[in-house]
Structure 1
């Protein structure tokens, strides 16, 4: 790492945020943005991508001014568990339902932590399931099965 970078973790995080934000802006450039008063389908993704780029730029700038720890080795177990939990959620949502998909996803991603607690994971499952039920099914009316056909729903 270059000698002017004082916090490699923040620097690499900032580059990652800039990369994701810039990629999202590039991929979403075909969507109509519209205006604040009449938003198009690309307005919110462009706004969030821009915010992600700003956070990335702030991390990079901060990494040049503030000392930090060197980057340790990549922790593969947490990385794999979080990615797999996201994929499993997407695969289970339609057929197993929202509650089962959330439960499996939360359990898998919780295992990524060295401070894993089954009690905390169970509480998270209950609270997040209730929250998602209220927001996505009741408030927004999205056609997501609470209990999917695989589980008799």
Structure 2
């Protein structure tokens, strides 16, 4: 009987927190970490002043919302039974990260020094950058249907051109500049 009282949480004994839904718990933590990174990355942007939004207001609001959602998902992983994490599938996220980096580098060009030699990657423009990023992200899947991927990539590229260049009138170059 003394043994039971010793291990109960109320008596200050050994208490272990059991994660009942590991996917939800760890997925929520990843969202919180991503939001904290976004807050840090946008910390030098001006926030709200009076009633006018600064360039950092919307990213901060979305990051705070993502922290709240990620925390709620993590907490639900503590109390609601869920499937275990079977294996880490890093192929998809790795290709998506690569696609984002390729888009960021190719949309505006990139200059760096390689063993003292200047190297310049040219601007490829919105059309080539979007299509390349889409096709790289497609390679993260296990089953790749190239015909459907090429068609979907062309549609996505056309949508991005219409949205960013003509509707939002952002000054992205459409074609490569060499």
| TM-score calculated relative to the size of structure 1 | 0.85
Q: Counterpart in 1 of 2:106?
A: 92
Unaligned runs of 5+ in 1: none
Kindly indicate whether structure 1 or structure 2 has the higher relative contact order, using CA contacts under 8 Å at least 6 residues apart: 1
1:103 paired residue among 123, 128, 131: 131
Q: Counterpart in 2 of 1:125?
A: 153
The answer to whether residue 89 in structure 2 is matched with residue 75 in structure 1 is yes
Query: What is the CA-CA distance between 1:53 and the residue it aligns to?
Result: 0.5
- What per-residue deviation string (whole Å, max 9, x for no partner) do you get for residues 35-86 of structure 1? 6841112210111101110110121122122211211232233232222211
Query: Which of 58-67 and 42-51 deviates more?
Result: 58-67
- SS of 2:161's equivalent? helix
Counterparts of 2:94 and 2:25 in 1: how far apart (Å)? Answer: 23
- What per-residue deviation string (whole Å, max 9, x for no partner) do you get for residues 83-141 of structure 1? 22111112222321211111111111111112322233123212211221122111222
Counterparts of 1:98 and 1:52 in 2: how far apart (Å)? Answer: 28
Q: Counterpart in 2 of 1:39?
A: 53
Task: Provide closer, same or farther for how the CA distance between residues 26 and 102 of structure 1 changes in structure 2, counting only shifts above 3 A.
Answer: closer
Counterparts of 2:174 and 2:19 in 1: how far apart (Å)? Answer: 48
Task: Provide closer, same or farther for how the CA distance between residues 30 and 83 of structure 1 changes in structure 2, counting only shifts above 3 A.
Answer: closer
Unaligned runs of 5+ in 2: 1-15, 109-122
2:141 paired residue among 84, 92, 113: 113
| TM-score calculated relative to the size of structure 2 | 0.74
Number of residue equivalences: 149
Q: Counterpart in 2 of 1:22?
A: 36
- SS of 1:149's equivalent? coil
Counterparts of 2:143 and 2:72 in 1: how far apart (Å)? Answer: 30
Query: What is the CA-CA distance between 1:26 and the residue it aligns to?
Result: 3.8
1:66 paired residue among 62, 80, 98: 80
Counterparts of 2:125 and 2:35 in 1: how far apart (Å)? Answer: 31
Query: What is the CA-CA distance between 1:29 and the residue it aligns to?
Result: 3.7
Higher strand fraction (1 or 2)? 2
- What per-residue deviation string (whole Å, max 9, x for no partner) do you get for residues 8-50 of structure 1? 1111111111112123224434433216841112210111101
Runs of 4+ in 1 over 6 A off after TM superposition: none
